[in-house]
Copies of this chain bind each other. A is one copy, B any other.
Amino acid sequence: MERIGFIGLGAMGKPMTQNLMKAGFACNVFTRTRSKIEDVLAAGAVWCNSPKEVAQKSDVVITNLPDTPDVEHAVAGKDGILEGARAGTLIIDMSTISPVASKNLAIQAEARGCDFLDAPVSGGDIGAQKATLTIMVGGKPAAFDRALPIFRALGKTITLMGDSGAGQITKAANQILTAINIEAVAEALVFASKAGVDPAKVREALMGGAAYSRSLEFHGQRMIDHNFKPGFRMRLHRKDLDIIMETGKAYGVSLPVTAQVRELMSATLNAGQGDMDNSSFALLLEKLSNTQIK
């Protein structure tokens, strides 16, 4: 069985590491705040002092970090994975980062004889805990096949989307859809509410029809309840839209509504909602219309 290294044991990475250990994989770990993973270490994970050390001790190294610079630093920076890796080491980045940056990391890794997969996920912390993540993978088919037993311990829908970067592009498409769909639900429910119709009734009446989305079902309910405890934080979704707009520029894609929704997200951050759930679009729309749906 492959020895696994895991770097970044946050809200997603910690339960993912625990699922890998449950599946029988030995895990070498590194994360910013050691005190947050004492239970994982007590369960047998081996602490390392750097991504380099993780790579020295492991066959496969997984990163799950907040943003593009974090992954670039962990992979290619000082005391990074590439300093500790050997020919044949498989690096899997499961963070959501820039597809362009991801392709560059793959090129650097391959120059050292390593394999590199981009494998961002969707499904949130609940999906990470229950091992039901959707995993969207970019890279070489042989590396994908090698990673499959690992992915199967973490998620359910696992798809090789294409060459290096294709996983990040697919995740970006996912984030475009969820951001816009959630904003749409906020507009529709605030509109109905201020026009005098119960938004809970509107959600219910539209659930079975053409307007259905997961966002109408789940984020719509949160809006009606004014329950904005995350869930997926607005500041992380805005970060994803930042990446998407840069990627659109790199590939020559015009994204008019994504751009506008990013600006509205920025307005929610300006209003102090960065650590609220992304369904808190409803608070912004309520303010714009000087009303409350609850």
By the criterion CB–CB under 8 Å, are B157 and A169 in contact? no
By the criterion CB–CB under 8 Å, are B256 and A257 in contact? no
Residues of B within 8 A of A254 (CB): 285, 288-289
**Number of copies of this chain that the complex holds:** 2
Is A23 among interface residues, defined by CB-CB distance under 8 A?
Answer: no
Is A11 among interface residues, defined by CB-CB distance under 8 A?
Answer: no
Residues of B within 8 A of A156 (CB): 208
Interface of A is mostly: helix
From A123, A252, A253, residue with most partner B Cβ within 10 Å: A253
Interchain CA distance A187-B241 in the complex, whole Å: 13
Is A183 among interface residues, defined by CB-CB distance under 8 A?
Answer: yes
Is A8 among interface residues, defined by CB-CB distance under 8 A?
Answer: no
> Chain B's nearest CB lies how many Å from the CB of A171?
9
Is A211 among interface residues, defined by CB-CB distance under 8 A?
Answer: yes
Residues of B within 8 A of A288 (CB): 254, 256
By the criterion CB–CB under 8 Å, are B180 and A183 in contact? yes
Is A213 among interface residues, defined by CB-CB distance under 8 A?
Answer: yes
> Chain B's nearest CB lies how many Å from the CB of A66?
19
Interface positions of A (Cβ within 8 A of B): 99, 122-124, 134, 136, 156-157, 159, 161-163, 165-166, 169-170, 172-174, 176-178, 180-181, 183-185, 187-192, 194-198, 201-202, 204-206, 208-216, 218, 244, 247-248, 251-258, 260-261, 264, 285, 288-291
Q: What are 13 pairs between A and B in contact, CB < 8 Å?
A: A122-B209, A156-B208, A159-B204, A170-B202, A173-B191, A174-B209, A180-B257, A181-B213, A183-B257, A184-B184, A191-B251, A212-B213, A212-B214
